[in-house]
Chains A and B, each alone.
Chain A
Amino acid sequence: MLIGSKLYYFDSLESTNEYAKTLIKDAPEGAVILVDQQTGGRGRFGKQWYSPEGGIWMSVILRPPDPSLISIIAGIAVCRALHMNGVLPGIKWPNDIVLNGKKIGGTLTEIIDKTVILGIGVNLNIREFPDELEAIASSVFLETKKHLEKKMVFDTLCKQLDDCYIMLKQNKVTDLLTEWRHYTILLGQQVVIEMPDKELSGKVLDISRDGALIVMRSDGKIMRVVAGVCHLRQR
């Protein structure tokens, strides 16, 4: 198995993605950095990612020929791993993992010097969140009252990521996207896409082969969305 063939495990690091960057030259493909807690975990664009003990905080070093669907397969692998442990989460484009409408996981993918650093965070057994996150973030434990064994979920996640990565390299994109459609909470839903310069609202129709979200605006025009943050429109 490629993913996890080499494991760097620490009690605590500032950020697994930052540590992975120091290993780019030396670590083999599939190397995983895993920590019990991050003191400076990051989300998109330097946003803080709350990562105390009880969650899965990891980064994977990959060198795919085409990295464009890495975020998509990471979301599928997290969903599979939780599903196999008795919890059925959903995906919000492109790769937020949600349960009961709250975010319980996500990924941050960075491409540096032809190497992909795939950071994955899963709020597994976290008991409480800071006030400012309470409304949007949650954990598997808080939503299901189940305490999942962290090592078991981590092992399943590595195995499933390995399987998805093999499928990607075999160009089984149709199968992967079928699975993404199965897990996503967005198909047929009204959404608002927040972009830096504007907002776009409409109904989600599908995902394209290159991972773009296909959205129909209220005037009937069909748009391909590749960047931005997607929110379900409040009813």
Chain B
Amino acid sequence: MRFKDIERIVKILETSSVSEIEVTDFLGRKIRITKCTNNTQAVKVEAPSQPVKEKAEKTEQGVDNLVAIRSPIVGTFYRSPAPDAPPYIDIGDVVKPGQVVCIVEAMKLMNEIESDVAGKIVKMLVKNEDPVEYNQELFMVEPL
């Protein structure tokens, strides 16, 4: 997105009654411009995607003391390494830090997703072959 495009969006925002405009360009790059009360504009440009990481995103402590294992990339979720192979883990299984829990595939790149925590798998939030988004919760773990 070029500077003059951003200028045009700012002008549209100034002369309208809306307080925020978000535009996504051809390549998926997003820009969101928010009208502030002190007459300045906050400009936030978001990257089109996040870099691929091998490990699951940092898990977060949620309600009920459960911890989520999240997808580090956009892709397709697979529970097992091959269609006829058993799943990596199931509900009730105890996992260790560094243990592979699933695969997320993007562009024929098979990312083995590992658990960051030791605990028991209590929820599986996606089904085999579901498309998953960046940072989407895949499993909930009860820390041990």
Q: Taking A46-B81, A208-B27 as contacts, is the C-beta distance between A197 and B109 under 8 angstroms?
A: no
Find chain A residues with CB under 8 A from B48 CB.
Answer: 208-210
CA distance A109 to B75 in the complex (A): 14
Which residues of A97-141 have CB atoms within 8 Å of chain B's CB atoms? Answer: 107-114
- Whether, in the assembled complex, B131 has its beta carbon less than 8 Å from a beta carbon of chain A, the answer is yes
CA distance A218 to B138 in the complex (A): 32
Q: Taking A45-B82, A227-B76 as contacts, is the C-beta distance between A111 and B110 under 8 angstroms?
A: yes
CA distance A165 to B120 in the complex (A): 40
Q: Please tell me if the beta carbons of A71 and B108 are within 8 angstroms of each other in the complex.
A: yes
- Whether, in the assembled complex, A211 has its beta carbon less than 8 Å from a beta carbon of chain B, the answer is yes
CA distance A67 to B76 in the complex (A): 17
Q: Please tell me if the beta carbons of B52 and A196 are within 8 angstroms of each other in the complex.
A: no
Count residues on chain B whose CB falls below 8 Å from chain A CBs: 30
Q: Please tell me if the beta carbons of B112 and A68 are within 8 angstroms of each other in the complex.
A: no
Find chain B residues with CB under 8 A from A110 CB.
Answer: 109-110, 112
CA distance A71 to B73 in the complex (A): 15
Q: Please tell me if the beta carbons of A211 and B107 are within 8 angstroms of each other in the complex.
A: yes
- One digit per residue, 1 when the CB lies within 8 angstroms of any chain A CB and 0 when it does not, for chain B 87-119 equals 000000000000000000111111110000000
Q: Taking A197-B131, A227-B131 as contacts, is the C-beta distance between A71 and B81 under 8 angstroms?
A: no
Which residues of A197-235 have CB atoms within 8 Å of chain B's CB atoms? Answer: 197, 206, 208-212, 214, 222, 224, 226-228
Chain A minimum-CB-distance residue to B129: A196
CA distance A107 to B81 in the complex (A): 17
- Whether, in the assembled complex, A94 has its beta carbon less than 8 Å from a beta carbon of chain B, the answer is yes
B-to-A contact residues, CB < 8 Å: 26-28, 48-49, 51-52, 54-55, 73-76, 78, 81-85, 105-112, 129-131
A-B contacts, 9 listed (Cβ < 8 Å): A45-B78, A46-B85, A68-B73, A107-B108, A108-B108, A111-B54, A208-B48, A209-B48, A214-B27
* Top-5 shortest CB links A-B: A46-B82, A196-B129, A94-B107, A227-B76, A68-B52
Beyond contacts A109-B110, A197-B131: 18 other A-B pairs, Cβ-Cβ < 8 A, are: A45-B82, A46-B85, A67-B54, A71-B107, A108-B110, A110-B109, A111-B111, A112-B112, A113-B112, A196-B130, A206-B26, A206-B27, A208-B27, A209-B27, A210-B49, A211-B107, A227-B107, A228-B76
